[in-house]
């Protein structure tokens, strides 16, 4: 149960946003943490911070018509939720996936506000996307879709206004088509308006790797805080997209042995450790399916159709596919198999019931808004480079990323300690992220 003020606001959120379960879930989790600080911050109530924080500053929904390779007209729906600009321009990815709807975009945008605050960099929170499915579409179809999407979205963007990037289904190819159309429509080479760009046209080294690297670094920090480490231990990873691939790479560099990857068709287990080059070739270059890894690797690697990758015993888990992919039953299996740390590469991959299981078992649990903040943090570094018309080295940028992840980890731990919940990264991340945004909102008055 929430206290009466929080419950009242939460009821209003439910009423106003009917049929958006992922959004409700994200709000509820933050509110449960805010219970701990309600008494200390009467000013939040006085200034209506809770309700203002839950209501996006602006929500844009638009038609995206385009013509497929057969000459048939297709219509998708586009979204951009400009959630909160207290700390900087709206910043957050675009997701292209058939499951995208307003509630999904709002949950992601809401999480993004606090994640971006935790990075310590001047970025507000936003998210967008479309129910367009890039799977099986030709480059020409993806280009025409992206051009149509940007033809509407461009009027809402700007390096001081709203700076999108990638998320599920949106990588360097899509960002290229989007940036090209923005440039054409505005007649401005405004590099800082999008991040995740190619290295030859304003992109930042390490941005591609940043989310996965950051999630593994966050796991390492949590392990180190308990006197432990990757130390040759088995690492179970879900997904095989941008986040998963580079979580695998960094986990290997830190001395762990990642033994799995997945996509929506099933998962592969490779007891000898994932061959990252092969996985990248299949997923990044060929855009293939995960079973091809087992087909081509030989060596005892096996593909399991459907099923749960969390059945694979491991000491460290890096869920890096999508929301609510790790259930209460999965969490129990992981705990039974001796998991020490779970670091969320994806946004909200663990259900609330799963998080409770980890909390009760004493598993180190890094919530996405802290653990996967490396991606957006490096996007902010890309914006810095664009603003100064500079390009930093890989080493320098990776050092900045590592330091940011360490700072976020330390902030979460210190805040949790202050609140009498030592080791609880969920309350640490929620409260530390929230306070900065709330204080800025109070400074600006009721807007």
Question: Under rule CB under 6 A, which residues in 121-140 are in contact with ligand 2IT?
Answer: none
Site membership for ligand NDP, residue 286 (CB under 6 A) = no
Piece of 175-183, 240-248, 327-335, 396-404 that binds ligand NDP (CB under 6 A): 240-248
Nearer to ligand 2IT, 379 or 402 (CB): 379
Site membership for ligand NDP, residue 242 (CB under 6 A) = yes
Nearer to ligand 2IT, 89 or 256 (CB): 89
CA atoms within 13 A on the CB side of 262: 25
Asked if 22 and 348 touch (Cβ cutoff 8 Å), the reply is yes
Piece of 66-74, 277-285, 372-380, 420-428 that binds ligand 2IT (CB under 6 A): 372-380
Asked if 312 and 269 touch (Cβ cutoff 8 Å), the reply is yes
Shortest distance in whole angstroms from residue 19 CB to ligand NDP: 19
Tokens of residue 282, six digits:
């299949």
Site membership for ligand 2IT, residue 347 (CB under 6 A) = yes
Single out the residue of 120, 96, 122, 93 nearest to residue 109, CA to CA.
93
Which secondary-structure segment (H or E) carries 82? strand 73-84
Site membership for ligand NDP, residue 319 (CB under 6 A) = no
Shortest distance in whole angstroms from residue 360 CB to ligand NDP: 25
C-alpha span between 140 and 382 (Å, rounded): 28
Site membership for ligand 2IT, residue 91 (CB under 6 A) = yes
Max Cα-Cα span within the chain:
63
Which secondary-structure segment (H or E) carries 342? strand 341-343
3-state secondary structure of 221: helix
436 classed as catalytic:
no
Site membership for ligand NDP, residue 239 (CB under 6 A) = yes
Asked if 360 and 332 touch (Cβ cutoff 8 Å), the reply is no
Among ligand NDP, ligand 2IT, none, what does residue 119 contact (CB within 5–8 Å per kind)?
none
Question: Under rule CB under 6 A, which residues in 157-216 are in contact with ligand 2IT?
Answer: 165, 167, 195
Tokens of residue 20, six digits:
């958006």
Site membership for ligand 2IT, residue 245 (CB under 6 A) = no
Q: Is 57 exposed, middle or buried (0-12, 13-18, 19+ CB in 10 A)?
A: middle
Q: Is 278 exposed, middle or buried (0-12, 13-18, 19+ CB in 10 A)?
A: middle
Site membership for ligand NDP, residue 380 (CB under 6 A) = no
Nearer to ligand 2IT, 9 or 211 (CB): 211
Q: Which of 91, 106, 115, 127 is catalytic?
A: 127
Tokens of residue 242, six digits:
């941008």
Binding site for ligand NDP (CB under 6 A): 93, 166-169, 211, 239-244, 263-265, 320-322, 345-347, 372, 375
């Amino acid at each position: 149960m929430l206290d009466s003020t929080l419950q009242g606001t939460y009821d209003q959120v439910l009423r106003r946003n009917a049929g958006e379960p992922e959004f409700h879930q994200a709000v509820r989790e933050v509110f449960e943490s805010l219970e701990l600080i309600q008494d200390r911050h009467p000013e939040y109530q006085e200034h209506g911070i809770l309700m203002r924080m839950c209501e996006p500053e602006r929500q844009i929904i638009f038609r995206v018509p385009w013509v497929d390779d057969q000459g048939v007209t297709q219509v998708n729906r586009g979204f951009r939720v400009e959630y909160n600009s207290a700390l900087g321009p709206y910043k957050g990815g675009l997701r292209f996936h058939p499951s995208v709807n307003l509630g999904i975009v709002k949950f992601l945008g809401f999480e993004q506000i606090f994640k971006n605050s935790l990075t310590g960099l001047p970025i507000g929170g936003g998210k967008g996307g479309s129910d367009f499915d890039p799977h099986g579409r030709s480059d020409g179809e993806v280009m025409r879709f992206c051009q149509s999407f940007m033809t509407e979205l461009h009027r809402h963007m700007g390096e001081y206004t709203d700076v999108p990037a990638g998320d599920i289904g949106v990588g360097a190819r899509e960002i290229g088509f989007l940036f090209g159309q923005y440039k054409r429509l505005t007649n401005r080479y405004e590099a800082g308006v999008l991040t995740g760009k190619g290295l030859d046209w304003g992109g930042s080294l390490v941005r591609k790797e940043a989310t996965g690297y950051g999630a593994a670094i966050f796991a390492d920090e949590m392990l180190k805080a308990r006197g432990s480490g990757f130390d040759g231990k088995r690492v179970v990873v879900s997904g095989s997209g941008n986040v998963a691939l580079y979580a695998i790479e960094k986990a290997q560099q830190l001395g762990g042995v990642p033994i799995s990857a997945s996509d929506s068709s099933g998962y592969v287990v490779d007891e000898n450790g994932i061959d990252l080059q092969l996985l990248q070739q299949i997923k990044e270059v060929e855009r293939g399916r995960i079973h091809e890894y087992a087909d081509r690797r030989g060596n005892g690697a096996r593909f399991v159709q459907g099923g749960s990758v969390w059945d694979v015993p491991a000491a460290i888990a890096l869920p890096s596919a999508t929301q609510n992919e790790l259930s209460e039953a999965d969490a129990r299996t992981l705990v039974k198999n001796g998991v020490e740390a779970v670091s969320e590469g994806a946004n909200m991959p663990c259900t609330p019931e799963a998080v409770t299981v980890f909390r009760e078992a004493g598993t180190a649990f890094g919530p996405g808004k802290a653990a996967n903040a490396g991606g957006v943090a490096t996007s902010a570094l890309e914006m810095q480079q664009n603003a100064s018309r500079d390009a930093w080295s890989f080493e320098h940028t990776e050092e900045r990323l590592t330091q940011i992840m360490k700072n976020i980890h330390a902030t979460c731990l210190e805040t949790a300690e202050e609140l009498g919940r030592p080791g609880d990264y969920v309350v640490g991340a929620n409260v530390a992220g929230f306070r900065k945004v709330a204080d800025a909102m109070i400074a600006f008055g009721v807007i």
